[in-house]
Amino acid sequence: MSPMSPEEVEKRIKKLRKDLEQHNYNYYSLSQPTISDFEFDMMMEDLQALEKKYPQFFDPNSPTQRVGSDISQEFKQVVHQYPMLSLSNSYSSQEVTDFMQRVEKFSGEQPDYVCELKLDGTSISLTYRDGELLRAVTRGDGEKGDDVTANVRTIRSIPLKLHGDFPASFEIRGEIVMPFAVFDALNEERIEQGEAPFANPRNAASGTLKMQNSSVVASRKLDAYFYYILGENLPEDGHFELLQHAARWGFQISPHTGKCKDIDEVLNYLSVWDKKREELPFATDGVVIKVNSKRVQEELGFTAKSPRWAIAYKFKAERVSTRLLNVTFQVGRTGAVTPVANLEPVQLGGTVVKRASLHNADIIQGLDLHANDLVFVEKGGEIIPKIVGVDTTQRNASGSAISFITHCPECGTALVREEGEAAFYCPNEDECPPLIKGKIEHFISRKAMDIDGLGSETIDLLFQQGLIRNVADLYDLKKEQLILLDRMGEKSADRILDGLKNSASVPFERVLFALGIRYVGETVAKKLAKGLKTIDALMIADITTLVAVDEIGIKIAESIVDWFSKEKHLELIARLKTFNLKFETENVVKEGSTDKLKGMSIVVSGTFSTFSRDELKADIELHGGKNASSISAKTSYLIAGENIGPSKLEKATQLKIPIITEEEYRQLTN
């Protein structure tokens, strides 16, 4: 046979790719394979041989790229176009009923709902452009995640090229899971090789996705199911209907997703799957209930942490009994002392449980725990094991009662318990080792200063060597000090020093969060940075000034004032300033910004011809206005688009709020 011409080679390669993509679609999306695994593998080998011989025809979305590469790579951070928020949890049918009643009250209608099994894996967000996979990003902290595109390409149930009439650009989110059968086989292999087995399929899936060798990821046989589509110009208003489109484009959608018209149908779905979930080939920990209509979803909007149009229902936890061996006490970063029950190992929810949280002294007292008690253990929210009861009929008369300690187990300082607080604290924040190390670990963490190269083990080593006692000491570290540490080479030392240097670009709100002031979490830090602008203003702020900041209450204000009243903290800030950390909010004046809407509260409802809703809201802020999610007497305008929510229109009319069109809004800002 005469050799093929380049044109014939290209034609053959394209034919093989197209056929293999179709067979993947038949297998994963339609569940109707038309060839054997052997035939599929032979076609793949043929394509691999041709691509290797003719590299000019390389395509990153070729089916052959699913085998992965053995070249290690660092993951870069990508900001999500749409934040990946978490869901509010519910644990009873009454909480689900309350959620649906709130939806119907605020939307002014009775929408359809979609019930989806909540898969217990790791979340992923995929971006497609012109029908090809562009990027895959992990959830991360919700605002940004790791780019794991190379690893995701190896998962056969994720389409690299789409079928049918798909949007030019969109984002789709789902869950990457490890089926039970794959998980069991992987653990058997690890045990045979003398490696520690994975605790559960979720950890195995998450750990696999973050491996830096994509060829190993390919060998792990991960699977993926998709449940949420975002973007402009989507073909349907209905979430359920959009998922049917996604299935036709090539995505694997759970066949167990159901559309429900009322509370009775939703509760029936929960009841059925609470029992049937044990038959599934992968782990689930509940059901997600969503409003079906995108229009109603947009009307309901979001809280700071979760959508108002969706809720997660967690299945009732599995309960087992085992023997309590003893109780130990751990000191956390904030000084809170947590009692931990050490148990005889027992299987619970697919994992071996050896320890359980007792939370605080009140829990111990309420349970009336004694040494060697037979206790009942559950997984709270299917995540953290906890003791929920004691079988007193099996109690040994010689078992002494468990009581909470009075002094810190690390430094011996007398514990304190503030009025209204459940936890006991060690107040010795500048001398107690776990508090010192915990504060430093918090400071370097990803959501705070995100200092590359530093981790808890390195912090522990630096502390043991007497090189650090607070976060400012990190910036005094020298290369010659670092390379003397165990397992620390020149490259690792350079990486740490570069990470410290780069942290000078971290914005003020994250620096403020990194300081570890009690009650000042990520959201509070953002509010304070926006409201007071500088660390100097925060240092002299009194209670009245602080509570005037959006969402800052008395408890938070008192904690801030107390923190800045201590000379050692003022000295710490002074030292950190010498390392050029950002201690003020940057005033970035956006092009086109005005104050034409200053002092105005504006509600946006419906769809628009020249703006997307997000663009319109951004434009309102550009001109100094404030976006509000609901109509009130303080609302300045309701901007009404197509398919406006009837309840907002009715309330605006009742309160005589000016209702304007998109064009009238343009006239306001021009």
Active site residues per annotation: 118
Q: What is the dihedral of CA 493, 495, 501, 502, to 10 degrees?
A: -170
Measure Cα distances from 646 to 197, 260, 444, 642, 663 in Å. 55, 22, 48, 11, 21
Q: Decide: 376 and 387 in contact? Cβ < 8 Å.
A: yes
Nearest to 107 by CA among 306, 302, 295: 295
DSSP 404: -
Residue 226 CA to residue 124 CA, distance in Å, equals 9
Under 8 Å between Cβ of 560 and 515: no
**258 CB neighbour count, 10 Å cutoff:** 19
- DSSP string for residues in 445-487: STTTT--TT--HHHHHHHHHTTS-SSGGGGGG--HHHHTTSTT
Kind of pairing between the strands at 374-380 and 223-230? unpaired
Please return the burial class of 412, using the count of CB atoms within 10 Å of its CB with bins 0-12, 13-18 and 19+: exposed
Which residues lie below 8 Å from residue 34, measured CB to CB, with a gap of 6+? 23, 26
Q: State both tokens at 401.
A: 């009662």
Angle value at C-alpha 68, between 65 and 71, nearest 5 degrees: 125
In sequence order, the 6+-apart residues with CB closer than 8 A to the CB of 663 are: none
d(C-alpha 120, C-alpha 203), whole Å: 9
Residue in the structure block whose two tokens are 């990457």:
176
d(CA 486, CA 368): 46
